[in-house]
Structure 1
Amino acid sequence: MISVAVHRNLLRLIGFCTTPTERLLVYPFMENLSVAYRLRELKPGEPVLDWPTRKRIALGAARGLEYLHEHCNPKIIHRDVKAANVLLDEDFEAVVGDFGLAKLVDVRRTNVTTQVRGTMGHIAPEYLSTGKSSERTDVFGYGIMLLELVTGQRAIDFSRLEEEDDVLLLDHVR
């Protein structure tokens, strides 16, 4: 599935190796790690993301998802869009990665799953209640990632319980 999607804003698979005991995937080195790291876990002296860079990241991630949803054949639903899965190359260009939960869309079949997959705080409410994943599932996750990008906060943060009742970033922002 990873080799089907080739776009500058999607993590490119360089190669793989399979042995009886290991399976390895080889990807390009992402020098600036992830958006989540750049927003929250910086070491002293590392640059914080400025607003023009954050905008470029948001647009790059959107382009990558748009490619998965509109230009891949068959379409691909990522199902785990979040700041930790948007990686940053040496120029801070966004690269959507981690396709471990991705699903090919077969228009002839339903996309209802018996087990909801994804990261809490990023999962669309309708996916939780119906088990049906779609492009809308990724759009919801992208929206939460945008909130993370703008606020610098995590999608779920239990430390907010000390001051308020809103653990979810979406509720906190609302």
Structure 2
Amino acid sequence: TWRLWPSKTGIVFLFIFIDLKPGDSGLDWSARKRVAFGAAQGLEYLHEHCDPKIIHRDLKAANILLDDNFEPVLGDFGLAKLVDSKLTHVTTQVRGTMGHIAPEYLSTGKSSEKADVFGYGIPLLELVTGQHAIDLSRLEEEEDVLLLDHIKKLLRENRLDDTVDRNLKTNYDWKEMETVI
């Protein structure tokens, strides 16, 4: 079940931890994994345990809220759609945040659990890289504004090491990181 939580400091948004400069403290790998798994569990709950199931349609770092213990809770259901559990998708006008929208949803207007899973993958990449889904400053060095395209380029160039947030230094399990990427 989902819960509301009392918070002394208020809700913390995940994206605050994504734009840190080298040397700044941020979430360690253990906390980032907790956020990733918690968000995945939330998405599973929406898709598998709600009737009708809920398609979020705008899963992004800004919609993953963290409590005082950095436990994640999915938020902002303004674009969400209720879908009969027997249906595989809902056809709608495309909505969501650029850089997080699944290509098949963008081209067909058919939103589904799969599109939500694609959207979930972008905050995962943000957690690993410490970068935003869209970063215009990358244009100074390359053509890839979207984080996903940037990561694909690094993978093609066998530069997987360059994808990991430098603020993590070496304080992470490489196999876990590789699995997430």
**Same-fold call, TM > 0.5?**
yes
Rounded Cα–Cα distance in structure 2 between residues aligned with 1:161 and 1:121: 15
Across the aligned residues of Structure 1 and Structure 2, the Cα RMSD in angstroms comes to 2.2
- Amino acid of the structure 2 residue aligned with 1:55: K
Contact 1:32-1:38 at 8 Å conserved across structures: no
Match of 2:17 in 1: 38
Contact 1:7-1:67 at 8 Å conserved across structures: no
Rounded Cα–Cα distance in structure 2 between residues aligned with 1:51 and 1:108: 37
The Cα shift of 1:109 comes to 8.8
- Amino acid of the structure 1 residue aligned with 2:14: V
Match of 2:34 in 1: 56
Which among 77, 92, 102 is matched to residue 124 of structure 1?
A: 102
- Amino acid of the structure 2 residue aligned with 1:33: V
| Secondary structure, counterpart of 1:87 in structure 2 | strand
**Structure 1 residues 111 and 160 mapped into 2: Cα distance closer, same or farther (>3 Å)?**
same
Q: Structure 1-normalised TM-score?
A: 0.79
Query: For 1:119-154, what per-residue CA distance to the aligned partner results, in whole angstroms no more than 9, with x for missing partners?
Result: 000000000000000000110010111001110111
The Cα shift of 1:47 comes to 4.1
**Structure 1 residues 48 and 32 mapped into 2: Cα distance closer, same or farther (>3 Å)?**
farther
- Amino acid of the structure 1 residue aligned with 2:145: V
Write the mapping of 1:12-161 to structure 2, written as runs, cut at 5 A: 12=4, 29=7, 31=10, 33-40=12-19, 47-106=25-84, 107=86, 111-113=90-92, 115-161=93-139
Question: Percent of counterpart pairs with the same letter?
Answer: 68
Rounded Cα–Cα distance in structure 1 between residues aligned with 2:73 and 2:87: 30
| Secondary structure, counterpart of 2:62 in structure 1 | helix
Query: For 1:105-126, what per-residue CA distance to the aligned partner results, in whole angstroms no more than 9, with x for missing partners?
Result: 123696111x200000000000
Rounded Cα–Cα distance in structure 1 between residues aligned with 2:70 and 2:95: 28
| Secondary structure, counterpart of 1:122 in structure 2 | coil
**Structure 1 residues 168 and 75 mapped into 2: Cα distance closer, same or farther (>3 Å)?**
same
Moved over 2 A (4+): 27-32, 106-110
Q: Structure 2-normalised TM-score?
A: 0.76
